[in-house]
Amino acid sequence: MKIDWEALGSVFGVSLFATVALVALFTLGLVGLSKHEAATEQGGTATLARSGAYLCFGLVAAAVAYGIYLIVA
């Protein structure tokens, strides 16, 4: 049995990048929601923070849905 180390390394690299990117996007979404909450408590509005958070969560959901599509198809 011969292992294609180059392909294995490529899969590892892409998986690592995708994982870090999704965690970073989700974290940015949480930070945006916390900024919105902080602004709301102080009597202001932070619609940009909330919109950015929802955008981040939407991108994460789209990436997860695409991953499931790749597995099923």
- pLDDT beyond 90 at 61: yes
Predicted pLDDT at 43? 66
Amino acid at 13: G
Residue 16's CB: how many other CB atoms inside 10 A?
Answer: 10
Task: Quick: pLDDT tens for 12-54.
Answer: 999 999 999 999 999 999 999 888 777 777 766 678 888 999 9
